[in-house]
Amino acid sequence: MQGNLAVAKSAVPAAKTWAVVKADAYGHGIEHVTRAFQAADGLSLIEFDRAARLRELGWQKPIMMMQGMYDVADIESLVRDDLQPVIHHVDQCRMLESTPVSRPLAVHLKINTGMNRLGFMPSQVSEIYQRLKSLSSVRSVSLMTHFANADSNGTRPDVAAQIDAFQRATAGLDAEISLSNSAATLFQPQIRSDWIRPGVMLYGGAPGVQSALSLGLQPAMTLKSRVIATQSLRAGDSVGYGSLFIADRSMRIGIVACGYADGYPRLASTGTPILIDGVRTRILGRVSMDMLNIDLSPLPTADVGSEVTLWGQGLPIDEVAAHAGTIGYELMCGVAPRVRREVRD
């Protein structure tokens, strides 16, 4: 993860970096990010309990709460743990106006420039900015937006349109700005931004169609298991629920101790790549709860105990995800608690 953070920082060297660690650091474990991202200027997430945990672990730099507070009770946590909320709705302004605090907060005003999820419409920005600046509970206001299509060309709204909307909305406002997510950091480094907000790229996932390796990114997570049984099929034999794979010849298969209860995608079908002892082969048939089936044809010496790489080092997570009709983000975040973790520097 440290190397991937270095890639992000080198792409936009003039900007500070919010390292996004929501969803338990994209499934990698919040316990590890204070060390892995010590070169970041701040951490950004959603969950208040994990933000508190970051403080317990010794993180002293800024922490941004990407969805801000959900109710007035959250303001106590913001003050206690010195957290910086994103303000994206007028109700959050009202919470700050009605709740006295012992320590003023740094806040981030989010602007909806076309993503149409969170944020104030451009016509509201000047009024909300002045409203926040006037509060004794607020010590600073920064400005931010989120790009919908920084990893694609021609899809609307494009980056240029969103930047234009942002600039018109913020004209005359004196504040730091944060614009670029992973895709914009990698593919639009010309964007001026005081802060960048890389997320999936920090964990070795590609935010667009290019491969992670071509972008200089390395996988932070490798999911491994072992072969626990082998079977010999004859032509016409099937394997697994639904008999979705039927052998067209005599062949040897392996059974791997990993399934959808571990976070491996059930929709991965015959042909999804997998590594056995470092050699690429394919899964066969339907993934079940605790097991999946693999073709041992390219590996005549593979047997019970052979090491299996389901994704990670040597096998990009995005490639596996594509075979399952999803994205690497989902696989990272979906690894089940029962999977044993090993942390390596």
Q: Exposed, middle or buried, 175 (CB in 10 Å: 0-12/13-18/19+)?
A: middle
Please provide the size of the chain in residues: 345
Between CA 225 and CA 306 the distance in angstroms is 9
Token pair belonging to 345 = 């520097």
Rounded Cα distance between 201 and 180, Å, is 12
Residues 6+ apart with CB under 8 A from 180: 12, 15, 147, 150, 188, 191, 193, 196, 197, 198
Q: Compute the distance between CA of residue 122 and CA of residue 238 in angstroms, rounded to an integer.
A: 59
Is 241 in the active site? yes
Please name the amino acid found at residue 178: S
Block residue for tokens 């937006």 = 145
The catalytically annotated residue of 70, 203, 241, 260 is 241
Question: Exposed (0-12), middle (13-18) or buried (19+): which is 326, by Cβ within 10 Å?
Answer: middle
- Which tokens is 286 given? 């339907």
Quote the CA–CA distance of 34 and 97 in Å, as a whole number. 33
Identify the active-site residue in 9, 16, 22, 26. 22
Neighbours of 118 (CB within 10 A): 17
Are 12 and 196 contacting, i.e. CB atoms less than 8 angstroms apart?
Answer: yes
Q: Which token pair is 219?
A: 């996988």
C-beta of residue 4 within 8 angstroms of C-beta of residue 218: yes
Catalytic site includes residue 22: yes
Which residues are marked as active site? 22, 241
